[in-house]
Chain A
Amino acid sequence: MSDCDLPHLEYLNDNELMEMDTFIHRIDSTEVIYQPRRKRAKMIGKYLMGDLLGEGSYGKVKEMLDSETLCRRAVKILKKKKLRRIPNGEANVKKEIQLLRRLQHKNVIQLVDVLYNEEKQKMYMVMEYCVCGMQEMLDSVPEKRFPVFQAHGYFCQLIDGLEYLHSQGIVHKDIKPGNLLLTTDGSLKISDLGVAEALHPFAEDDTCRTSQGSPAFQPPEIANGLDTFSGFKVDIWSAGVTLYNITTSLYPFEGDNIYKLFENIGKGDYTVPEECGPLLSDLLRGMLEYDPAKRFSIQNIRQHNWVRKKHPPSERPVPIPACAESRDQWRSMTVVPYLEDLHGYTEDDDDELYDGEDEIIYTQDFTVPGQVVEEYQDQGNADHSPAVAKPVCVNGTEGGSLNSKSKAERRSSSSSNPSRKGVSTASKIRKLSTCKQQ
């Protein structure tokens, strides 16, 4: 309900606000209609907000639509209040933005835009859209791993992206499946540079002092608490753990708690499952080499025969799973209901609104003076079925199976009709009246 506060006011100018006062009149409680929460259009700058994609420690990630280019985007919403509670929170975010701004590579997530809302103390990082995270894909199958050819494809892209980052003097420090995202065409994007470190332009080497990455992916030198270490080799190790994980579903080091885990990593004893075969085992051992100086470099990895080999697609690849919420196998835009709200297509109550298990909120319906509302006839009717086919299609054809479809078509016919304007103001007013109630 909190997303139903101020922003809607933006749609109305002062004049309309004034007019509206005359429109809103008291309604008896019997006239109040139950309505599930409707998805209300919310614009941040030129971007229309869609559904939640995920939630991180810093805040939510939502889908967005660029209303000008119609390009799908993702937005990381950061709240200052939350950031303050996280150690280095604000500093990390600032750093991430600085870093991302100057990066451009097909395997590194692209920062598209940054917007601030001073009043709400919110920041919006607009990024290119990715359909799925690698961890989510792994979790979606019982084997919890990829077929070799698929893992190979992702690993090569990871190395490409990593090589670019390192060439730009950036140590990622948190490489893991959870931070590798996939676009609709299957490109891998290294994301979350929240704990990354940009080496000083004149730094002699890649010496780092701090690491805040995920424990299971940390190398021995960090587990052992060394003061300084090679940053690039940290990323190589983490990429090695990632490769180990996505090909075997296992982790090379485990532990009941972080102390036990670090103890095991610090000892450096691990085994590579036999099923990996000699080539992959050799690569993993090279990347999970205890001594950072002897550990593979990116060049070593590139020249490795497992990387150079062509792996035939022997098994079925793990597909990007259907969206957990909507069960949509294509992971289509989630902004559509918000678009419908934006353009006043949701005015007539829709049947599908009623069978959702959404929480029910109070909505006050209202009448515009001079307008006869047919709903009155339905009053008291429990299953309140609104006038679905009020304006009959002019050429008398049936609009198809989907209710919303026929409505859209009906609506479209009036798209250049001046009367449309009145309709949309009414919908704006309705929005506001709902908001006021809460």
Chain B
Amino acid sequence: MSFLRWVTEKLSVESLRDLELFGEQAQGLSHRKPHEESQESLTSLPRRDTMGSYLPDSSSYELLTVIGKGLDDLMTVNLARYKPTGEHVAIRRIDLESCTNDMVTYLQGELHVSKLFHHPSILPYKSIFIAENELWVITPFMAYGSARDLICTHFSDGMSELTIAYILLGMLKALEYIHHMGYVHRSVKASHVLISSDGQVCMSGLRSIFSLIRNGQRAKMVHDFPQYSVKVLPWLSPEVLQQNLQGYDFRSDIYSLGITACELANGHVPFKDMPATQMLLEKLNGTVPCLLDTTTIPPEELSLKPSRSAADSGICEGPRAGGPRHSNGDPSSSSGGHPYNRTFSPQFHSFVELCLQRDPENRPSATTLIGHPFFKQIKRRPSEALPELLQPVSPITCFESSGPQDSVSGLASLESGLSHLDVEDWDF
């Protein structure tokens, strides 16, 4: 029995090797001198980006603070310094010994896909190798953390509409690419959107990605229910959750994007404070979450003190299709600081409504959504606009300005910067 498991596990690891994902490190040479070219590494291909290639050798990395955990605590995310260049990188370390066969297969799928994908809005895997019993995945360090971190630390009542527009546009570009490649992402959420120090928006969370290609052909619908996705349930579309013969396709990601839009705007994901079963019921019954502002919350509530009000659930009172709304330009007089006493543009509302339609057929594709009037407000490049919009948050790499070799104080400021992060939620 256990022998069998051992064999199969070994086989899975061997087949991981077959993917040429691992460098010689895996073969057991532990202290090789790092040198320029490493043929076995994924990143040895001529790089199309600025980061350059990274050695598949654990001794080339100096592990710094832990910046996250995930995958049922099997995964630890470290900030690390890449010794040859001094650059900061993020390393996800997964203890393969504690992984079940299923889990290994699952991870394999992710690595496979990461090899296939190349897009500026998708977090690239710079190097993948095995060190001791751990799978190491090297990715660029995204200094602003995830969009969810930003919400947790600085924008607890939601971000500004323009910031959200930049983030959603980045996500849509990634989704357009992923869908074009024949995949469904299946875990679109704010914690899977990372922002680099220069305002680049990158999607991560490829772990539950699923291919629509069946026997060489693109299937119209797929039916697989994502595993290990308990934390993603609030973002999943009704048709994914329904698990019936109807199945789902890439449009389920569009629904999740709509939920993410609410998450970014409201500061929390809709349905967050109810049991999973109730969330399921709400979605199947057609409850449509919405942006919380003066157009969706009655003025009586906005004039109340900010408290645990109905608005907190992030769900508006029914689909507002055609129905009379509360007038836009008349925020309640007592602007006593209710966080949702604000008005998002009608374009933003319509964008979210389009995404969250119950019938997937009616949801626009990522490509169509990129042309939505909501994004008309974007005038500058994200690298110029986002860092400014995110103020007072500063990227955690700002310590680098404190001097090239001043590693002690640099690290100290870095760690204090990191302590702002909600470590629990930094799941890539």
A residues adjacent to B (C-beta < 8 A)? 48, 65, 67-72, 102, 104, 129, 131, 183-185, 320, 329-333, 336, 339-340, 342-343, 345, 393-400, 402, 404-406, 408-410, 412-418
Asked, given contacts A70-B241, A395-B326, A398-B323, whether A65 binds B285 with beta carbons under 8 Å apart, the answer is: no
Which B residues are in CB contact (< 8 Å) with A104?
101
Among B310, B317, B326, max chain A CB count under 10 A is at B317
Asked, given contacts A67-B275, A395-B296, A415-B274, whether A185 binds B318 with beta carbons under 8 Å apart, the answer is: no
Which A residues are in CB contact (< 8 Å) with B287?
408-409, 412
Q: Contact at B247–A184, with CB atoms within 8 Å? A: yes
Asked, given contacts A70-B277, A400-B319, A402-B286, whether A416 binds B245 with beta carbons under 8 Å apart, the answer is: no
**CB-nearest residue of chain A relative to B224?**
A185
Among B273, B276, B298, B320, max chain A CB count under 10 A is at B276
* CB < 8 Å neighbour of B317 from A184, A336, A339, A409: A409
Q: Contact at B313–A413, with CB atoms within 8 Å? A: yes
Which A residues are in CB contact (< 8 Å) with B243?
71-72, 129, 184, 333
Binary contact track B347-389/A, C-beta < 8 Å → 1, others 0 = 0000000000000000000000000000000000000000000
Binary contact track B267-310/A, C-beta < 8 Å → 1, others 0 = 00000011111101110111100000000101000000000111
CB of B249 to closest CB in A, whole Å: 13
Q: What is the total of A-B residue contacts with beta carbons within 8 Å?
A: 136
Interface majority SS on B: helix, strand, loop or mixed?
Answer: loop
CB of B279 to closest CB in A, whole Å: 8
CB of B312 to closest CB in A, whole Å: 5
B residues adjacent to A (C-beta < 8 A)? 1, 101, 222-225, 229-230, 233, 241-247, 273-278, 280-282, 284-287, 296, 298, 308-310, 312-313, 315-320, 323-326
**CB-nearest residue of chain A relative to B236?**
A70
Which A residues are in CB contact (< 8 Å) with B315?
409, 412-413, 415
A67-B276, A329-B245, A393-B317 known; 11 other A-B pairs, CB under 8 Å?
Answer: A69-B229, A70-B233, A185-B247, A333-B243, A333-B244, A339-B278, A339-B280, A397-B317, A404-B285, A413-B313, A416-B309
Within the assembled complex, what's the spacing in Å between the Cα atoms of A398 and B320? 8
Which B residues are in CB contact (< 8 Å) with A345?
281
Which A residues are in CB contact (< 8 Å) with B273?
415-416
Asked, given contacts A412-B282, A412-B315, whether A417 binds B244 with beta carbons under 8 Å apart, the answer is: no
**CB-nearest residue of chain A relative to B1?**
A102
**CB-nearest residue of chain A relative to B316?**
A395
Which B residues are in CB contact (< 8 Å) with A68?
230, 276
CB of B406 to closest CB in A, whole Å: 48
Which B residues are in CB contact (< 8 Å) with A342?
277-278
Within the assembled complex, what's the spacing in Å between the Cα atoms of A348 and B101? 48
CB of A69 to closest CB in B, whole Å: 6
